[in-house]
Chain A
Amino acid sequence: MEQSNTLLDVKKLEVSYGHVDALKGVDVTVNQGEIVVLIGANGAGKTTLLDTILGINTPRSGSIQYNGTDITGRSADINVREGLTIVPEGRGVFTSMTVTDNLLLGAHHNMHESSDKIERVYQWFPILKERSDQMAGTLSGGERQMLAIGRALMSAPRIILVDEPSIGLAPIIVNNIIEILVNLNKEGYTILLSEQNAYKALKIAHRGYVLETGQVVLSGTAEELLEDPAVKDAYLGA
């Protein structure tokens, strides 16, 4: 019963860059409809984990099961086609392309009904419709983050990997982005969120994992982690 609800199951994942071990046997599970948060300092391995799940990095060992299928080492273009997508760290918008072209990039693997998909994104983010013909480089930080999320939605994903969405944004904009993620989750999107702002992330998450130097050192429900003395001490500034 529990198995059928599991959308993503990462087991004993090890990734290294040359002689540097970035992930050392990471286990992470994400169930359908959840927001799961990865907490950790810079260099903990959060981005490496997300990139490896998507298929950009090749793991040294371990396995990644997505929707019951082993996708370990499978290339990103197939994974995106199958419903995985990422909102990359630093937004990753293409500044010399228009907002519309950035959005269409998200639907690269399936342009079918792309105008309907764009309209749906514009319903989520009306400001992007106003800016549709502008170069993405003219957008504010918050608008760029919306564009990055909108682009991810263009691929009609089942799970969205969101990497450090609050980086470089004003607190009020961060609140907006967090609210958007909650609303997306209510719409049925499963979200695996990597975030340094542990408090805000745990407030909206169902469960969480704490990563330190490439290992999961703590996991539990968001409430448990919010109350955990070690988490409070290290990440919540208590």
Chain B
Amino acid sequence: MPLPMYYFLAVTAIYILLSWSIYLPYRVMHLHFMSVANMTISGYLGAYAALSWGWPFMLVLVVGIVVGAFVGWITSFAIGDAPTFAVVIVGFTYIYISKTVVENTDALGGTLGLFNIPSIHSDPSTSKLLLLIIVYLFVILMGFLIHRFENSRLGRAASAIFVDHQLAKSFGINVKRTGMFLQTWSSAMGGASGVLYAYLMRNLFPDFFTFHLIGIAMTMLFVGGYATMWGGLLAAPLLWGGPLLFPPEIASWRIVIYGTILVVMLVLKPEGLITRPLVYRIESYFRRRRDRRIPS
């Protein structure tokens, strides 16, 4: 596989996961940026474990997910039903702390980062292909789980909390527990994204895990559509892949382009490209077609 294609597919998958990890808590109106901090924590922890202790990839991945989930779960006791701005501030704080710790820890490579993270196979080409398959299997698994969640009682509860959390409480919905669940899930996905990114790139730099990563993920979420899981899936390849086609002098203005697109979308189509009614219409169309095929 050509190297540019590999990086396009690899980074697209990471951005899909990252945008979903922000999408999930946003279902209850939480802009939960801890997934970026958990990417840093689990990514570096995993890379260090692989380099220093020789842990195999699967163990690193599982530990990365568990650590991410644990950090998210513990924090969610405090912010599971907090106002949006409080959740945002906690997320920023975690990002700042985790980046500072990494930059000041020699064992983690400091500001230079960690290099030569092991491949998962002795043959580099096979390793890349295997890794891509694993990453996309993980994306499919997460997509399936999120889709199941959307159509579950928890998904309906999250929709109700998003609109009016006081009203949601009056139906017996436990707002805090729902928020905790989604924040924990989001953090676990952040942890997984960190480990997968470390293995895909085989190096980690603290500068990657900063606020610009939040900007990119948020642009993907809000341009694609924050009300359904399909928004991130559509926007990640478009927004990440699109600038790759630009000439180098324009590509370096990527963040400015993202920002402009985000502002334009928020003004013209605040719900993003893929809205909930649109998904509902498409689902209804296929349901009707299926029903017509089944003889009565």
Contacts and interface: CB of A to CB of B under 8 A. Distances in A.
B131 interface: no
Interface residues of A, number: 29
A106 B167 CA distance: 11
Interface stretch (A96-104, A121-129, A177-185, A215-223): A96-104
Contact of A108 (B157, B167, B276, B284): B157
Interface stretch (A8-16, A22-30, A86-94, A225-233): A86-94
B171 interface: yes
Given A94-B163, A135-B277, A56 B169 contact: yes
Interface string B132-158: 000000000000000000000100110
B280 A76 contact: no
Which one of B164, B171, B277, B280 has the greatest number of beta carbons of chain A within 10 Å?
A: B171
Contacts of A51: 170
A186 interface: no
Interface in A171-228: none
B160 interface: yes
A133 B172 contact: no
A108 B172 CA distance: 7
B153 A96 contact: no
B162 to A, nearest CB: 9
B159 interface: yes
B173 interface: yes
B170 A92 contact: yes
Given A92-B164, A96-B276, A135-B280, A76 B156 contact: no
A108 to B, nearest CB: 5
Interface in B266-296: 276-277, 280, 284
Interface of B: 153, 156-157, 159-160, 163-164, 166-167, 169-174, 276-277, 280, 284
